[in-house]
Amino acid sequence: MDEIIVRSAACPENPWSPWIALIPPLIWAGLLIGFAGWIGRDTIRSLLKRVDKVNIGGVELQLRDDLEAAAVSRNLDIAAYVLGRAARRLACSSKLTEGAKLLWVDDVPDSIVKESRLLEQAGALITRALSTTDALDKINKENFDLILSDIKRDGDDQAGIKFANKLAERKNPPPIVFYVGTVKSPPPQHAFGITNRPDELLHLVLDSLARSRS
């Protein structure tokens, strides 16, 4: 018996194949557009706001944990709801803190690591100085939105006060907030505020930036 060999011919290419491949994505795009039109623009905005709140909530929790760690490192017992309120305000104040330029004067920088990290996580740019001379030199070269400072420095119990007095002699000096180990009243002259608590520090920073950057 003769062997019958069947050869299959190559199928001619369908000229419509590229267009047919676009049909499924177009169907999905149409469905999404139709769904968006059905639920309405206001609903979409509401959903996006909820997503923003979830994101802010996550940041807030991290900031609250870091704030609590800062309080513990200073042997302070601060109520959780008080820390949460400060963390929430910081998380919602990115327009104030993002790109804000702070000068932090402290001869023991290891003592302010947690507080510095809180502000940097919120977008603030922190320049550090160890002495009054160093701080004044940096102020001569750069403009700052706010200065944070200790008071006791290099064996001088009034170093921060003297620094604030020199700062006040300048034209349009940046505000200064003192962050200290123990608060004494009344607050120093020329100071925007003074505190030994990390939560109050955040509030003072935000209050000051609200004035200088508004």
Residue 194 sits at φ, ψ, to 5 deg, of -145, 140
**Predicted pLDDT of residue 18:** 57
CA distance 198 to 200: 5
Per-residue pLDDT of the chain in tens (214 residues, 90 and over written 9): 444 333 334 445 555 555 555 566 667 666 666 655 655 555 545 544 443 333 444 567 788 889 999 999 999 999 999 999 999 999 999 899 999 999 999 999 999 999 999 999 999 999 999 999 999 999 999 999 999 999 999 889 999 999 999 999 998 999 999 999 988 777 888 999 999 999 999 999 999 999 987 6
**Predicted pLDDT of residue 189:** 87
Q: Which amino acid, one-letter code, is at 183?
A: V
Is-contact 34 26, C-beta < 8 A?
no
CA distance 40 to 72: 48
Is-contact 20 27, C-beta < 8 A?
no
**Predicted pLDDT of residue 127:** 97
CATH H-level superfamily of 60-212 = Response regulator (3.40.50.2300)
Q: N- to C-terminal Cα distance for the chain? A: 98
Domain borders along the chain are 60-212
DSSP state of 111: G
What Å distances lie between residue 143 and 40, 92, 104, 132, 194, CA to CA?
A: 47, 25, 13, 16, 22
Residues 6+ away with beta carbon under 8 Å from 11: none
**Predicted pLDDT of residue 19:** 55
SS3 state of residue 105: strand
pTM over 0.75: no
